[in-house]
Amino acid sequence: MKYTLITGASSGIGKAFAEHYAQKQHNLVLVARSKNKLEQMKSALEQQYNVRVLTLINDLSVPNIANEIYNNLMAMNIEIDTLINSAGIATNGSVNDVSYYNQHNEIMLNVVSLFDLTKLFLKPMLKNNTGTIINVASTSAYHPIPTMAVYAATKSFVLSFSEALAAECQKTNVQIFAISPGATDTNFFSNGGVSYGNLRTPEHVVDVTMSALKKQKISKIDGFNNYFTSMILPRILTRSRMVKMVYNIMNKQD
């Protein structure tokens, strides 16, 4: 039976993707650490949309957790035809000040678990010549961010890796796509993210993703203002000017 697997499904952008795919009659595998939130979503989505929802309560920053998830789903004969890697966290502060443990977990979650899940589920998708992988990057992927240095670097990985993989899969029916939200109204900011500008909604992010997928794009920035600051400004300014400007903006957030 075919399922859509969504990480970070318990809130924000991942939760909005879960709503969207349930409405489209996809069965879901929802992954996050918050058992209660996932259980509530399971009963609400199953009742409202008559789909099957499997919840996996996992900490994705744990080494080899992706292998465990993959093997368990294979043993249950669950085929993942859409994978959405939305789980992600940010740390905030200078590299020297933020704890090693928090930064390491950030890399494990934002980079390693996303890579592992993509690598594992890509193979059967290519074998069946069908599937979609949506990776949630960020406008932070487009330039360095002092005081969120690790976060921005993890998101650069997500964007670069996804776009390169999209090209490698171009001649197949497996579609790889990276969505880059800017500041979006979720729990992200109580978990280390820093807000600037007008917030978009998780539903905006999902709508923009769906429309870009239809157009066969490999990546997309959500919202015009975000497009300007992430795509246009770094092309006008030198890299050192850009990084200094972002540092000044970040210092004003305190």
Binding site for ligand NAP (CB under 6 A): 8-14, 32-34, 37, 59-61, 86-89, 109, 136, 138, 181, 183-184, 186-188, 191, 193
User: What one-character DSSP code corresponds to residue 141?
Assistant: G
Least distance (Å) from ligand NAP to the CB of residue 130? 25
Q: Residue 34 corresponds to which tokens in the numbers above?
A: 């918050």
Least distance (Å) from ligand NAP to the CB of residue 210? 16
- Token pair 């989505």 is at which residue? 45
Q: Collect all residues with Cβ–Cβ distance below 8 Å to 67 and sequence separation of at least 6.
A: 116, 120
Least distance (Å) from ligand NAP to the CB of residue 33? 3
Q: Collect all residues with Cβ–Cβ distance below 8 Å to 230 and sequence separation of at least 6.
A: 139, 141, 142, 143, 180, 182, 221
Q: Any alpha helices (H) in 108-232, and if so which ranges?
A: 114-128, 149-168, 202-214, 224-227
> Which of residues 13 and 45 has its CB atom nearest to ligand NAP in the complex?
13
C-alpha pair distances (Å), 197 with each of 12, 155, 223: 18, 19, 12
Least distance (Å) from ligand NAP to the CB of residue 157? 12
> Which of residues 128 and 160 has its CB atom nearest to ligand NAP in the complex?
160
> Which of residues 126 and 153 has its CB atom nearest to ligand NAP in the complex?
153
C-alpha pair distances (Å), 143 with each of 64, 70, 116, 161, 201: 30, 33, 25, 16, 23
Least distance (Å) from ligand NAP to the CB of residue 10? 4
Dist CA 122 CA 133 (whole Å): 8
> Which of residues 61 and 175 has its CB atom nearest to ligand NAP in the complex?
61
Among candidate residues 153, 66, 160, the one with its CA nearest the CA of residue 113: 66
> Which of residues 131 and 181 has its CB atom nearest to ligand NAP in the complex?
181
Least distance (Å) from ligand NAP to the CB of residue 3? 18
> Which of residues 11 and 219 has its CB atom nearest to ligand NAP in the complex?
11
